[in-house]
């Protein structure tokens, strides 16, 4: 069995939305780097990060936290949330993210998604 732990980021902190509602959340850890280290200590080889602020605003927001986690070099990272243009995808790959996860835009503009999947071969996935 292969388990990929997840960190959902909102305002730079680890949270979980209750039934996807932004006005209802559970706060877990103020320091996402600390949480990432705990997952690594438990044996994680990959980490899934969702930028909840990015998903809501349509552009990456929590890039400082994502960059700090990537800089640890503890595991491969995949990130989703707010990736709706080429520059946003490139920005995350440039800071050390291994895979960009496209949700909304992959469904609303499959032609764009196909073009980006070709450009970023092996680095772009959809979870929609």
Q: What is the pLDDT of residues 44-64, one digit of tens each?
A: 999 999 999 999 999 999 999
CATH of the domain at 75: 3.20.20.70
Instruction: Locate 78 and state its tokens.
Output: 């995949």
Contact 69, 33 (CB under 8 A): yes
Q: Which candidate, 126, 28, 38, places its Cα nearest to that of 83? A: 126
Question: 52: domain range?
Answer: 6-126
Average pLDDT, the chain: 96
- Determine, yes or no, domain membership for 36: yes
pLDDT of residue 127: 73
pLDDT of residue 128: 63
- Determine, yes or no, domain membership for 1: no
Q: How far apart are CA 118 and CA 26, in angstroms?
A: 37
pLDDT < 70: residue spans in the chain? 128
């Amino acid at each position: 069995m292969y388990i990929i732990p997840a960190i959902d980021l909102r305002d730079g902190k680890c949270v979980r939305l209750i039934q996807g509602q932004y006005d209802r959340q559970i706060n877990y850890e103020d320091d996402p780097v600390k949480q990432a280290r705990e997952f690594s200590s438990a044996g994680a080889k990959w980490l899934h990060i969702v930028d909840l602020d990015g998903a809501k605003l349509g552009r990456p927001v929590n890039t400082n936290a994502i960059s700090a986690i990537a800089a640890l070099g503890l595991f491969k990272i995949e990130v989703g949330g707010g990736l709706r243009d080429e520059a946003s995808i490139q920005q995350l790959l440039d800071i050390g993210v291994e895979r960009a996860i496209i949700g909304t835009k992959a469904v609303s503009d499959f032609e764009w998604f196909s073009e980006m999947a070709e450009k970023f071969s092996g680095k772009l996935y959809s979870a929609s």
